[in-house]
Amino acid sequence: MASAVFLLDLKGKPLIARDYRGDIPLTAIDRFMPLLQEREEEEGTGLPVMTENGVTYLHLREKDVYMVALTRKNTNAMTLLQFLHHLSKVFTEYFKTIEEESIRDNFVIIYELLDEMMDYGVPQITEPKILQEYITQESHMLEITPRPPMAVTNAVSWRSEGISYRKNEVFLDVVESINMLVNPTGNVLSSDIQGAIKMKVYLSGMPELRLGLNDKVMFESTGRSAKGKAVEMEDIRFHQCVRLSKFESNRTISFIPPDGEFELMTYRLNTQLKPLIWCESVVESHRGRVEYMIKAKAQFKHRSTANNVEIIVPVPNDADSPKFKSTIGSVKYAPERSAFVWKIKQFQGGKEALLRAHFGLPSIRDDDPEGRPPISVKFDIPYFTTSGIQVRYLKIVEKSGYQALPWVRYITKNGDYQLRMPEPLTGGGSRLPPI
């Protein structure tokens, strides 16, 4: 239960305030910023949940805007933080970015949304698609008085009745993001696959959908022997449209989809993976210069290709006069990120690439230790899933009996993909041959 919700600028001045319960004086928000700073001084960090004088402040930050919920009860903190994230998602749907300026420009609609999404501090409808049906700026211009959408009034709160398309189509994207943390010697410290099945649904009426995957647990429970590989997903989470109780009883994924784009489910596999793209790096630091040698390897099947590979290698803040040489791709120094970026448009499985980089360093340098940020890698590999998950079927039934076409696409890409850098070699003669 939130007592009030605030949007603040970076200095902590309110841009928008909505008081839901009147049980906290609104001036309490003036203590938010000082509190955040006190924590920063005392503990080195501001915290998402802070309490003072019987008021709990829960917040998150989007660009230059703080979104803060206040409560005086021992309420569910997770709920309120989730609500704030929903709020930020809805705002983003409505006006692209959340920043001070867009908040000021859209204050009327923000008040309307705040009024609609929370009543007496209790979250209400937070589904952007549904909200957009009856809270719009256009409708005021057209002078048509909006009504609550059908969706709010029937059992299916995420889809309105009477949707119609000339061509009925469904697009399924299976996207797997690889999270990876590797130490300098190539030991994988932690790795997992975060999968998501995203849908774009252009279907008329109230279609019933059923999705079949090569789910190991289902195969085992039905006693079916799987042709090919079956995948054991560790933690599956569904969009609210999926009937969880049905899934729990017989592992069928059945649902009435929302209209348009949404994320049907996410899953996680916690298997020990070999890094799909691995970079071996050597760093040599001398007085006045630092040198890098990076060897990148594409450790996946030969017939797959990684597209838009970006290998981002951090360098000291004060590095200058870069020199690069690479066997493939292009390299650019990005001083604003204190890194250089090695771009390889297409990197075929099994191939290797080599990069050499040389930077100058000022002869007098700060003694302050610099952190050793990891190399991060971006890529996407189409037609390929690391887990081997497959869509076996997507059945679409609507009472009007139309035929609909499902399209499926697979892609693997980087998630939080970090390769820790080795400590720079110092002193002695150069071990790396000159560029």
Partner 1 sequence: MMNAAIQTNIARLQIMKAKVLAALRKGENYELKTELNSEYKERRKEAVRRVIANMTVGKDVSGLFTDVLKNMHTDDLEIKKLIYLYLINYAKTQPDLVILAINTFVKDAEDTNPLIRALAIRTMGCLHVQEVLDYLCDPLRKCLKDPSPYVRKTAAMCVAKVFDLNASVAEENGFVESVREALSDSNSMVVSNAVSALVEMNDMAPDHNVWSLDSNLVSKLLTAINECIEWGQIAILETLVEYVPRDEKEAENICERVLPRLQHANGSVVLTTARLLLRYEQYVRRADLLTQFSKKMVPPLITLLSSEPEIQYVALRNINIILQRHPKLLSKEIRVFFCRYNDPIYVKYEKLDVLVRICSERNTEPLLNELKEYAKEVDVDFVSRAVQAISKLAIRYDSAAEKAIQVLLELLQTKVNHIVQNVMVAIQQIVRRYPHRFDSVIEDLCEFIDDVNEPDARAAFIWILGEHSETIANISNILTSCLESFLEEEDESVQLALVSAAVKFFLKSPQQGQALVLKALQTATEKCSNPDVRDRAYIYWRLLSADPNAARSVVLAEKPPVELENADLSPQLLEELIAELGSVSSVLQKPAKLFVYKLTEKAGVPRGSDTVGMGLGDAESTLAGGSEGKGASGGAAIDTTNEGEPELLISF
Rule CB under 8 A: say whether 386 interacts with partner 1: no
Shortest distance in whole angstroms from residue 79 CB to partner 1: 4
Query: Per rule CB under 8 A, is residue 10 in the interface with partner 1?
Result: no
Residue 221, SS3?
helix
Residues 6+ apart with CB under 8 A from 59: 32, 36, 48, 66, 67, 68, 69, 84
Mode of pairing for the β-strands spanning 277-286 and 425-426: parallel
Among 260, 365, 416, 431, the residue binding partner 1 under the rule CB under 8 A is 416
Residue 271 lies near partner 1 (rule: CB under 8 A): no
Q: How far is residue 168's CA from residue 240's CA, in Å, rounded to a whole number?
A: 23
Instruction: Return d(Cα 211, Cα 257) in angstroms, integer.
Output: 11
First to last CA, the chain: 63
CA 420 to chain centre: 22
Whether the CA torsion 420, 426, 431, 435 is positive or negative: it is positive
Closer CB to partner 1, 118 or 296, in the complex? 118
- Residue 91 is which amino acid? F
Judged on CB neighbours under 10 Å (0-12, 13-18, 19+), 246 is middle
Which secondary-structure segment (H or E) carries 141? helix 138-142
Kindly state the smallest distance separating residue 58's Cβ from partner 1, in Å.
Answer: 8
Q: What is the DSSP letter of 167?
A: S
Residues 147-166 that bind partner 1 (CB under 8 A): 147-148, 152-155, 157
Is 369 near partner 1 (CB under 8 A)? yes
Question: Does the protein bind partner 1 through residue 248 (CB under 8 A)?
Answer: yes
Residue pointed to by tokens 């704030």: 84
Question: Does residue number 102 form part of the binding site for partner 1 (CB under 8 A)?
Answer: no
Residue 55 interacts with partner 1 (CB under 8 A): yes or no: yes
**Considering only residues 25, 186, 288, 362, which one is a binding residue for partner 1 as defined by CB under 8 A?**
25
CA 225 and chain centroid, separation: 35
Q: How many residues bind partner 1 (CB under 8 A)?
A: 106
Chain-centroid distance, C-alpha 355: 30
Work out whether 239 is an interface residue with partner 1 (CB under 8 A): yes
Stretch that binds partner 1, among 262-270, 329-337, 400-408, 425-433 (CB under 8 A): 262-270
- The minimum distance between CB 323 and partner 1, in angstroms, equals 26
Residues for the chain: how many in total?
A: 435
Contact map string, positions 310 to 349, toward partner 1, x by CB under 8 A: ----------------------------------------
d(C-alpha 321, C-alpha 324), whole Å: 10
Q: Which of 64, 75, 216, 411 binds partner 1 (CB under 8 A)?
A: 75
Listed ranges 179-187, 280-288, 317-325, 345-353: which one lies at the site for partner 1 (CB under 8 A)? 179-187
CB of 343 to partner 1, least distance (A): 21
Which of 82, 132, 321, 346 is the binder for partner 1 (CB under 8 A)? 82
Minimum distance from residue 209 beta carbon to partner 1 (Å): 17
Given the structure tokens 């590989």, which residue do they identify? Answer: 229
Rounded least distance, CB 215 to partner 1, Å:
13
Stretch in the footprint of partner 1 (CB under 8 A) among 83-91, 210-218, 328-336, 401-409: 83-91
